[in-house]
């Protein structure tokens, strides 16, 4: 059984929440090697990660993987109706609200996105670094557009919010200044900032929005946790793995604007201890360099020895390397998205993903290979003389033959024909002149007396 995920980052099992949740699920479900399974770091293809390969079965998304791993009986058998309803509600709540906070924290903020992109650079092949991070940021902006924070960067509020000089407030306050002149002059002076005007500024309004979103997410989770060890009860369930996937990426990354980390640490200590407990109990801490070093292992023995040397608790395998077909397919697919007539309709990377058909995934590579091989074949044939291209030969003009095409005799006949046409033309012209020439008639008039 193989689990394909985006690579680790920030000390978490994966840079993607659902991938981290899937790793936690398998680590919880199959402890101490109860069933052999592997974790393989790869790069995203059409939003299909995490992807579980179990024999001939391929499952994408945390929900599908959880249903397959736990099974219908085990998934519901240990929970009563109330606990099962709470589990379903908590899972829906995490899926609906957790991703928005991660989108804003990791992708929308420009400086935070720079850190996130650096983490992607370490785990992705070179060609994918120009495709996957911008694609994921575009999806994050689209998902959070309704929140009004897609175009601003969360920053600390500076001490001096007005940006004015220190002596501006004293202007216009002389005792002898006339009231009417003071009213007119006040229109020319900078307006004094009030609490209402400060709250209307985009950067400050965004800060309050972010903290409100964080409270709306952390508050219900902490209330559900209460004094219990886990969200549903004293025993761990799949929703705890799902919650860990989102919360670990909110707690562990150290970002330039770590408002989400600080909000969690200062106000929701129970959630912090809850995440750290799962992180330690399942052994989910990951060192990126250790995982990348597995790519040098040639045999299973080398791989196992490297895991023990690095004290890995997760069954990591060598990261997948991109082949030529993957590079061409991904690159052409991304280029086609920028061509108006060829790009697909705008979509948002959703949490429930559907695998694209096989022909649709490999059509760009097939078209590129066909065009490229045809061009190379024609070039090779011309280069080696298999196809002779005419150089300096007489041009052949296809059409009705003329008299001049039959040599000197044909040219003489053509001259006779030309003279004949000229004579006929002159005769016709003379007839037209004769037909239109006026006739003068002398008429003699004789009177009664004689001539």
Q: pLDDT by residue for the chain (451 residues), tens digit each?
A: 899 999 999 999 999 999 999 999 999 988 876 788 999 988 875 567 899 998 888 898 899 999 888 874 444 457 788 888 888 999 999 999 999 999 999 998 888 899 999 999 998 888 888 888 888 998 888 888 888 775 555 433 333 333 444 343 444 444 444 556 555 555 555 555 444 444 445 445 567 778 888 999 999 999 999 888 899 888 899 999 999 999 999 999 999 888 899 999 999 999 999 999 999 999 999 999 888 888 888 788 888 888 888 888 888 888 877 666 666 766 666 666 666 655 555 444 444 444 556 666 677 778 888 888 888 888 888 778 777 666 655 555 556 666 666 666 666 766 667 677 777 777 776 776 666 555 555 555 555 544 4
Q: How far apart are CA 215 and CA 211, in angstroms?
A: 6
Residue where the block lists tokens 């559900």: 224
Q: What is the pLDDT of residue 147?
A: 81
Closest by CA to 241, choosing from 52, 60, 84, 27, is 27
Chain-centroid distance of CA 21 in Å reads 22
The tokens for 206 are 């965004």
Q: How far apart are CA 125 and CA 328, in angstroms?
A: 13
User: pTM of the predicted model, to two decimals?
Assistant: 0.65
Q: What is the pLDDT of residue 180?
A: 60
Q: Say if strands 38-42 and 2-6 run parallel, antiparallel, or are unpaired.
A: parallel
Output the CA angle 404-421-429, nearest 5 degrees: 155
Integer angstrom CA distances of residue 225 from 83, 108, 273, 379 = 13, 29, 11, 70
Q: What is the pLDDT of residue 4?
A: 92
Q: What is the pLDDT of residue 265?
A: 92
- Furthest-apart CA atoms within the chain: distance in Å: 157
Closest by CA to 128, choosing from 20, 45, 49, 60, is 45
Residue 177: HSE in the Cβ half-sphere, 13 Å Cα cutoff: 14
User: Are 25 and 65 within 8 A, CB to CB?
Assistant: yes
DSSP-derived secondary structure for 408-448: HHHHHHHHHHHHHHHHHHHHHHHHHHHHH----------BT
Q: What is the pLDDT of residue 345?
A: 53
Q: What is the pLDDT of residue 393?
A: 59
Integer angstrom CA distances of residue 203 from 2, 113, 143, 154 = 45, 17, 20, 7
Integer angstrom CA distances of residue 192 from 175, 201, 204 = 20, 14, 17
Q: What is the pLDDT of residue 36?
A: 87
Angle between helical axes of 358-383 and 324-336 (0-180°, round to 10): 100
Q: What is the pLDDT of residue 357?
A: 64
User: Are 43 and 159 within 8 A, CB to CB?
Assistant: no
DSSP-derived secondary structure for 147-167: GT-TT----PPPS-SS---TT
Closest by CA to 350, choosing from 134, 47, 144, is 47
Phi, psi torsion values for 445, nearest 5 degrees: -110, 125
Q: What is the pLDDT of residue 206?
A: 64
The DSSP call for residue 403 is G
Phi, psi torsion values for 196, nearest 5 degrees: -65, -45
Phi, psi torsion values for 18, nearest 5 degrees: -70, -35
Q: How far apart are CA 309 and CA 290, in angstroms?
A: 9
Q: Which residues contact 249 (CB under 8 A, 6 or more apart)?
A: 10, 12, 15, 17, 20, 102, 105, 106
Q: What is the pLDDT of residue 444?
A: 55
- What sign does the CA torsion over 39, 45, 47, 51 have? negative
Q: How far apart are CA 389 and CA 380, in angstroms?
A: 13
Domain boundaries, the chain: 2-157+174-322
Q: What is the pLDDT of residue 401?
A: 66
Closest by CA to 333, choosing from 50, 136, 47, 131, is 131
Q: Name residue 12's beta-bridge partners.
A: 9
Burial class (CB in 10 A: 0-12, 13-18, 19+), 152: middle
């Amino acid at each position: 059984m193989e689990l394909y995920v985006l690579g680790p980052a920030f000390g978490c099992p994966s840079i993607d929440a659902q991938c981290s949740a899937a790793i936690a699920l398998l680590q919880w479900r199959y402890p101490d090697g109860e069933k052999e399974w592997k974790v393989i770091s790869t790069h995203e293809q059409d939003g299909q990660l995490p992807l579980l390969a179990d024999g001939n079965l391929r499952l994408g998304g945390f929900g599908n993987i959880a249903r397959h791993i736990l099974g219908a009986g085990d998934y519901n058998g240990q929970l009563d109706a109330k606990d099962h309803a709470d589990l379903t509600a908590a899972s829906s709540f995490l899926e609906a609200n957790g991703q928005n906070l991660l989108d804003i924290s990791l992708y929308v903020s420009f400086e935070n996105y720079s850190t996130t992109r650096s983490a992607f650079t370490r785990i992705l092949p070179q060609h994918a670094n120009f495709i996957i991070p911008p694609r994921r940021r575009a999806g994050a902006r689209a998902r959070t557009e309704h929140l009004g924070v897609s175009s601003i960067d969360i920053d600390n509020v500076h001490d001096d919010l007005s940006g004015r000089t220190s002596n501006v407030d004293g202007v216009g306050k002389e005792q002898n200044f006339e009231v009417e002149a003071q009213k007119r002059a006040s229109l020319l002076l900078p307006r004094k900032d009030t609490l209402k005007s400060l709250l209307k500024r985009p950067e400050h309004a965004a800060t309050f929005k972010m903290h409100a979103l964080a409270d709306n997410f952390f508050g219900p989770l902490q209330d559900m946790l209460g004094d219990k060890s886990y969200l549903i009860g004293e025993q761990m369930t799949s929703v705890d793995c799902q919650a860990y996937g989102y919360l670990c990426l909110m707690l562990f990354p150290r970002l330039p604007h770590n408002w989400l980390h600080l909000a969690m640490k200062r106000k929701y200590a129970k959630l912090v201890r809850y995440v750290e407990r799962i992180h330690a109990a399942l052994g989910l801490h990951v060192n990126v360099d250790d995982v990348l070093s597995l790519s040098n292992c040639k045999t299973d023995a080398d791989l196992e020895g490297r895991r023990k040397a690095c004290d890995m608790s997760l069954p990591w395998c060598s990261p997948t390397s991109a082949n030529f077909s993957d590079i061409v397919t991904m690159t052409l697919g991304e280029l086609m998205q920028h061509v108006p007539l060829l790009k697909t309709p705008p979509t948002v990377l959703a949490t429930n993903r559907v695998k694209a058909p096989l022909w649709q995934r490999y059509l760009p590579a097939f078209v590129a290979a066909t065009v490229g091989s045809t061009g190379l074949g024609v070039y090779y044939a011309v280069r080696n003389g298999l196809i002779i291209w005419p150089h300096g030969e007489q041009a052949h003009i296809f059409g009705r033959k003329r008299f001049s095409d039959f040599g000197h005799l044909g040219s003489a006949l053509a001259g006779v024909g030309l003279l004949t046409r000229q004579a006929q033309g002159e005769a016709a012209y003379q007839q037209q002149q004769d037909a239109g020439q006026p006739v003068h008639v002398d008429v003699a008039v004789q009177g009664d007396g004689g001539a």
